Amino acid sequence: MRDFSYLRASTLDEARQAVLQAGASILAGGTTLIDLAKCGVAEPETVVDISHLEGLSGIEVTPQSVTIGALSRMSDVADHSGIQAEMPAVSESLLLAASAQLRNMATIGGNVMQRTRCPYFRDPGTFPACNKRNPGSGCSALGGITRNHAVLGTSEHCLASNPGDLAVALVAFDAVVDLGSRRVPFDEFFLLPGDTPDRETVLQPGEMIIGLSIPKSAAAKNSTYLKVRDRQSYEFAAASAAVGLELEDDGRTVRDIRVGLGGVATKPWRARAVEQALIGKVLDDATIKAASLLAMEGAVAQSDNTYKIDLVPRVVARAIETVSTDKSGGLA
């Protein structure tokens, strides 16, 4: 790990000023930044520690929404009774992520900003070519091992998947990112790789995530997060889905449904085609299965990750079944 200087910010303004300096990086929980510094991917000149700032770690449940300060820890958000009651998928996505130790360290702002686990991205010594790290250098994953790379939102320049779990629930339930001077809808916060995979979000130099706000909805209240992975715990998603469902008063017809996908796309992914296919429909096995197939519309697989094309619709269908059976005790 290259040497750097350490600055502990005592006010938000001081932090904002400090991160405007060339080579400065924000340090919150450090579980991505210190890891990537050890890999030689992050080479900060100055580390600006914001984890001691006051007033950024609150969690508030209002009649309209849930707001979460950027410095709230993953474990505190997961265990918050208001969040568990209003949006279970948010809590579940966090509890199924990383480990108890990491969840105690990692902040919500850092969680949203976590980087891909693409093994080529993480190993600059062995694989100099990576357009995300070094624009224009090529992509070592093309023709390499791509079992955990994305099938949605890829470009010929990068196929790295966004590894976050919480982000899947945030995109499904229309979260808004609070940057202090402006607020950005979660779905617009992330950029597709296109020919600039080094640019991942709309964050401008000097901007910081202050917090998140998630509007309450009947769909969020009746929601679940399903994560399928290579081992039972402490593993990133092979495929995951955050699904929320609101039925009409007849208890069978879909009024509102939200489907977010994880582990399969270059950014937190909203499967709007699945949602559109189900709104106004009466839920039954065949309808759910047919609509879930639409989750893979436009997917492009590599040789190692074609399994995701089969896996994702099954994960989506199972999550929809979970939220549709919980209340009524059986499919309509």
Question: In the complex, what is the shortest distance from the CB of residue 252 to another protein, in angstroms, rounded to a whole number?
Answer: 34
Binding test (CB under 6 A) with ligand FAD, winner from 66, 97, 169, 277: 97
- Answer whether 218's CB lies under 8 Å from 232's CB: no
Partner from ligand FAD, ligand SF4, another protein, none contacting 164, C-beta within 5 to 8 A by type: ligand FAD
Sort strands 254-262 and 5-8 into parallel, antiparallel or unpaired: unpaired
Identify which of residues 121 and 189 has a Cβ nearer to ligand SF4 in the complex: 121
Binding of residue 160 to ligand SF4 (CB under 6 A) = yes
Sort strands 65-69 and 59-61 into parallel, antiparallel or unpaired: antiparallel
The DSSP H or E segment spanning 178 is strand 176-178
Q: Is the dihedral of CA 134, 135, 137, 141 positive or negative?
A: positive
Residues forming contacts to another protein in the complex (CB under 8 A) are: 1-6, 8, 27, 30-31, 34-35, 37-39, 47, 49, 51-52, 75, 98-102, 104-105, 232-234
Partner from another protein, ligand SF4, ligand FAD, none contacting 197, C-beta within 5 to 8 A by type: ligand SF4
Number of Cβ atoms within 10 Å of the Cβ of 54: 9
Partner from another protein, ligand FAD, ligand SF4, none contacting 165, C-beta within 5 to 8 A by type: ligand FAD
The stretch among 110-118, 244-252, 264-272, 300-308 that binds ligand FAD (CB under 6 A) is 110-118
- Answer whether 43's CB lies under 8 Å from 125's CB: no
The DSSP H or E segment spanning 176 is strand 176-178
Partner from ligand SF4, ligand FAD, another protein, none contacting 233, C-beta within 5 to 8 A by type: another protein
Binding test (CB under 6 A) with ligand FAD, winner from 57, 75, 91, 114: 114
Binding of residue 158 to ligand SF4 (CB under 6 A) = yes
Question: What string of H, E and C letters represents the secondary structure of 241-289?
Answer: EEEEEEECCCCCEEEEEEEEEECCECCCEECHHHHHHHCCCECCHHHHH
Q: Which of residues 118-137 bind ligand SF4 (CB under 6 A)?
A: 118, 120-121, 130-132
Question: For the sheet containing 223-228, what is the strand order?
Answer: 223-228, 239-247, 254-262, 269-270
Number of Cβ atoms within 10 Å of the Cβ of 213: 18
Q: Give dist(CA 71, CA 80) in Å, integer.
A: 15
Binding of residue 243 to ligand SF4 (CB under 6 A) = no
Contact residues for ligand SF4 (CB under 6 A)?
Answer: 116, 118, 120-121, 130-132, 139-141, 158-160, 197
Contact residues for ligand FAD (CB under 6 A)?
Answer: 25-33, 35, 70, 97-98, 102, 105-107, 109-111, 113-114, 163-166, 208-209, 236
